[in-house]
Amino acid sequence: MSSNNIKISCQNLWKIFGPHPEKVISFCTDGLSKENIFQNTGCVVAVSDVSLEVPKGEVFVIMGLSGSGKSTLLRCINRLVEPTQGEVFIDGEPMSGLNEKKLIQVRRKKLGMVFQHFGLLPHRRVIDNVVYGLEVQGIDKAERAEWALKTLDLVGLSGWEDSYPDQLSGGMQQRVGLARALVIEPDILLMDEPFSALDPLIRRQMQDEFIKLHEVLGKTVIFITHDLIEALKLGKHIAVMKDGRIIQIGTPQDIVTKPADDYVTDFVRDVPTGKVLQAGNIVEEPSQLATMDQEPGVVLSTMEAKAVENLFVVDSEHKLKGLVMMADVAEAVHRGETNLNGIIKADPAVTEADRPIEQLIPMAVASDIPIAVVDQQKRLLGVVSRVSLLSHIGTSGVADR
């Protein structure tokens, strides 16, 4: 990936709490556990030699259990916690090189942060909570009110600007917190378990709304969670942490299907794979294809040799045009046709590669014909057979949902 596309980069980042933390790093590199290091030194290893890159415009999820170091890592990125060793780069600029004045400017204008606990000022109205960051920057009152109203509309809170936090539900309060972070128009959102304090139903609604909001705004987001399903739903890439270390970084599909070790395997054991795997993950090469300019006689011979009743048809650019049935091809041969144009049927069983495989089940049930998988330009990537689909869905993917 081009370095120009990297928004945030952490390189060999460490954070150790306790006396003489720099001396403790050697214990870590000697292979001592986090518990042994604490017993021997009184120091807590919160972040251990972490390196990662977050592309521009991506939702990058960092997940792990309590104490894994994920929130400390987030705070090292904006230097709310000073790293013991290593470096954080934002747009290629090292954060360690910023003096206090520049660091404050970066936090105020480039980084928006949303916390687990809403942190709203109870004595201030919704609009006054939202504009707090603009107020600190010295933005004119009328201008900051205009920005706040637009942002409240963006998060679905138009009409609530004069209310007080205790008049809002938990989900609405978190939207105020999100609006407060967005109103400064940051390049980056740092979100520390923002939905974990919400009821399950409200939490799912907020996740859905966040996905839609990200599609509109395209911000670079680092999202912290301990919930694997939330991580799989929101993240383009996921970093799994344990004891301050990154165990695995990958796409949701990689994390579920190619866990790096037993720890990650245990994490993903009960995940309904039908919601995570996509059509492109299980696509297979078709046994045979036909092209539009082929003579029906040639196609019929191929179908008889392969013992198939239908073939997908592609053009010279490998774009899917439909399919032909053996009976129609035989009839075209009988009529003396020289190409397939008159007998190509539109195939209803077509999907794009990013569609969750559980959504393919009705298509597979409705037809014996394999499901065609295409890219955004309608080029044929391959097919998904009914047998392959059911074998990848598995019992947990069906029974749990």
Is it the case that residue 337 has pLDDT exceeding 50? Answer: yes
291 and 264 in one domain?
Answer: no
Please tell me which residue, 161 or 116, carries the higher pLDDT value.
Answer: 161
Q: 169 lies in a domain? A: yes
Q: How confident is the model at residue 3 (pLDDT cuts 50, 70, 90)?
A: low
Tell me the mean pLDDT in the region 173-190: 89
Q: Which of 210, 238, 272 is the last residue of a domain?
A: 272
Q: H-type helices in 221-347, by residue range?
A: 228-234, 252-257, 262-268, 273-276, 296-306, 326-335
CATH (domain of 61): 3.40.50.300
What was the pLDDT predicted at 282? Answer: 87
Q: 175 lies in a domain? A: yes
Q: Which of 272, 296, 314 is the last residue of a domain?
A: 272
Look up tokens 């049930």; give the residue. Answer: 365
What was the pLDDT predicted at 191? Answer: 92
312 and 252 in one domain?
Answer: no
Q: 128 lies in a domain? A: yes
CATH (domain of 331): 3.10.580.10
Q: How confident is the model at residue 387 (pLDDT cuts 50, 70, 90)?
A: confident
Q: Which residues on neighbouring strands pair with residue 15, listed in sequence order?
A: 47
pTM of the model: 0.77
What was the pLDDT predicted at 396? Answer: 43
What was the pLDDT predicted at 400? Answer: 39
What was the pLDDT predicted at 131? Answer: 87
Q: How confident is the model at residue 349 (pLDDT cuts 50, 70, 90)?
A: confident
Tell me the mean pLDDT in the region 306-320: 91
316 and 244 in one domain?
Answer: no
Q: How confident is the model at residue 394 (pLDDT cuts 50, 70, 90)?
A: low
Q: 190 lies in a domain? A: yes
Tell me the mean pLDDT in the region 209-227: 92
238 and 371 in one domain?
Answer: no
What was the pLDDT predicted at 395? Answer: 43
Tell me the mean pLDDT in the region 159-174: 89
Lowest average pLDDT, out of 106-110, 132-136, 185-189, 249-253, goes to 132-136
Q: 30 lies in a domain? A: no
Please tell me which residue, 322 or 198, carries the higher pLDDT value.
Answer: 322
297 and 233 in one domain?
Answer: no
Is it the case that residue 393 has pLDDT exceeding 90? Answer: no
332 and 226 in one domain?
Answer: no
Is it the case that residue 269 has pLDDT exceeding 70? Answer: yes
Supply the range of the domain harboring residue 204: 55-83+98-272
49, 53, 59, 61 alpha-carbon torsion, rounded to 10°: -20
Q: Which of 239, 272, 305 is the last residue of a domain?
A: 272
Query: Nearest to residue 271, comparing CAs of 227, 211, 236, 224?
Result: 227
Tell me the mean pLDDT in the region 210-229: 91
Is it the case that residue 1 has pLDDT exceeding 60? Answer: no
Is it the case that residue 363 has pLDDT exceeding 70? Answer: yes
Q: 24 lies in a domain? A: no
Distance CA 230, CA 204 (A): 9
Strands 85-90 and 237-242: unpaired
263 and 290 in one domain?
Answer: no
Q: 318 lies in a domain? A: yes
236 and 157 in one domain?
Answer: yes
Tell me the mean pLDDT in the region 206-235: 91
CB 48 within 8 A of CB 244: yes
306 and 268 in one domain?
Answer: no
Q: How confident is the model at residue 222 (pLDDT cuts 50, 70, 90)?
A: very high
Q: What percent of the chain has pLDDT over 90?
A: 45
295 and 376 in one domain?
Answer: yes
Q: 189 lies in a domain? A: yes
Count of domains observed in the chain: 2
Q: Within 10 A of 7 (CB to CB), how many other CB atoms are there?
A: 21
Q: What φ, ψ does residue 135 adopt, rounded to 5°?
A: -65, -45
CB 236 within 8 A of CB 60: yes
What was the pLDDT predicted at 286? Answer: 86
Q: What one-character DSSP code corresponds to residue 319?
A: B
Mean pLDDT of the chain, nearest integer:
88
Q: Which residues on neighbouring strands pair with residue 249, listed in sequence order?
A: 239
Lowest average pLDDT, out of 21-30, 305-314, 351-360, goes to 21-30
284 and 202 in one domain?
Answer: no
Tell me the mean pLDDT in the region 300-320: 92
306 and 221 in one domain?
Answer: no
